[in-house]
């Protein structure tokens, strides 16, 4: 059953005072260089320091190929997201380039792996957020945000001082370090993580991230501790909470049962879960021996059965 709030609360970030913002901004930069923002804990020195590698003052990059600025691929109202986010005016998506995962089936590989987009300052990113709000969107939907959390926090603070007042959606691949999610408490209103894999084998083979399940499960648990189950306003638009995405892969390789059992037993049976049937072989999955086909109807129905049997009650289907 959907949860409704008669009197929607203002976005969480509006409650932060100057000292709290300063502390979070400082911590975000510490997490980013040496970088431990995601589950790779690569320790890249992403900001230029006088005492950089070998005293060169040069920054370095990790898997995400990002230094100290965000790269925006696109922005604007999106009507292909989940209904509680889209409403009638759209979810205000900001697609960021770069990614901390290396999924061989990525449908946005030109953005995630080829890094197409425009580098922006934090001030420019703040203006983009305000522009999305001016378009009438119900929320700011930050797509693939993990590797640029310091830039996002800086931009939100700037935009808040100029009138930003709609919910923030943290739309992540789910490979965020626990420390990163902990830092976001009091800033993010709606967490929307992927739960891609229940087992380490496929996670390593298809995304080069063997520890994905461990990192992902811990992050999702912390997300739910902060914001709880998804809550909708009387207009049906999400205002706070956790919304999980799970993409069904061919051959059951996503580990659906382990993920659904975790959600039902360790998170909440009222977790809003979007079980997605949209898998197509993109990027390096084209012609792949296992991932080179669409999923079967029977595989999708099986995933839905698993979720229901686990006891989950808020299942979005396709």
Domain ranges of the chain: 3-316
Q: Topology of domain 3-316, per CATH?
A: TIM Barrel (3.20.20)
Give DSSP secondary structure letters for the chain. Answer: --EEESSPPPPGGGG--HHHHHHHHHHHHHHHTTB-SBTT------S--TT-GGG-------TT---SSEEEEEEEEESSS-HHHHTTT-EEEEEES--S---TT-TTHHHHTT--SEEE-HHHHHHHHHHHHHTT-SSEEEES-GGGHHHHHHHHHHHHTTT--S-EEEEE-S-B-HHHHHHTTTT-SEEEEB---SSHHHHHHHHS-TTHHHHHHHHHHHHHHHH-B-EEETTS-EEEEEEEEEE--GGGTT-HHHHHHHIIIII-TT-EEEEE------GGGTT-TTTSSPPPHHHHHHHHHHHHHHT--EEE--
- Tell me what pLDDT residue 59 has: 80
Q: What is the pLDDT of residue 318?
A: 81
In the prediction, which pLDDT does 55 show?
Answer: 44
pLDDT at 292: 96
Predicted pLDDT of residue 52: 43
Q: What is the pLDDT along the chain (318 residues), one digit of tens a residue?
A: 566 555 668 999 999 999 999 999 999 999 999 999 999 999 999 986 544 444 455 788 889 999 999 999 999 999 999 999 999 999 999 999 999 999 999 999 999 888 899 999 999 999 999 999 999 999 999 999 999 999 999 999 999 999 999 999 999 999 999 999 999 999 999 999 999 999 999 999 999 999 999 999 999 999 999 999 999 998 899 999 999 999 999 999 999 999 999 999 999 999 999 999 999 999 999 999 999 999 999 999 999 999 999 999 999 988
């Amino acid at each position: 059953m959907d949860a409704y709030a008669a009197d929607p609360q203002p976005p969480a970030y509006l409650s932060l005072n100057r000292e709290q913002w300063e502390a979070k901004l400082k911590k975000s930069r510490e997490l980013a260089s040496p970088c431990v923002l995601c589950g790779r804990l690569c320790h890249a020195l992403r900001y230029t320091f006088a005492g950089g590698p070998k005293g060169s003052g040069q920054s370095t990059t990790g898997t995400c190929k990002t230094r100290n600025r965000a790269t925006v691929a696109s922005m604007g109202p999106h009507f292909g997201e989940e209904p509680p986010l889209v409403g009638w005016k759209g979810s205000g998506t900001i697609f960021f380039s770069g990614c901390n995962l290396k999924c061989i089936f990525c449908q946005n590989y030109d953005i995630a792996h080829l890094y197409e987009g425009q580098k922006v300052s934090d001030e420019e990113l703040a203006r983009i957020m305000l522009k999305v709000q001016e378009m009438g969107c119900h929320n700011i939907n930050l797509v693939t945000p993990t590797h640029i959390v310091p830039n996002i926090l800086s931009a939100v603070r700037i935009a808040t001082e100029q009138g930003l007042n709609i919910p923030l959606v943290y739309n992540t691949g789910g490979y965020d370090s626990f420390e990163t999610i902990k830092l976001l408490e009091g800033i993010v209103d709606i967490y929307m993580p992927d739960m891609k894999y229940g087992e380490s084998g496929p996670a390593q083979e298809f995304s080069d991230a063997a520890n994905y399940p461990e990192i992902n499960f811990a992050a999702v648990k912390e997300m739910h501790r902060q914001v709880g189950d998804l809550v909708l306003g009387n207009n049906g638009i999400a205002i706070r909470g956790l919304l999980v995405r799970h993409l069904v892969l061919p051959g059951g390789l996503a580990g659906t049962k382990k993920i659904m059992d975790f959600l039902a037993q360790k998170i909440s049976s009222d977790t809003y879960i979007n079980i997605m049937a949209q898998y197509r072989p993109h990027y390096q999955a084209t012609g792949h021996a296992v991932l080179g086909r669409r999923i079967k109807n029977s595989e999708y129905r099986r995933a839905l059965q698993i979720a229901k049997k686990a006891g989950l009650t808020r299942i979005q289907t396709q």
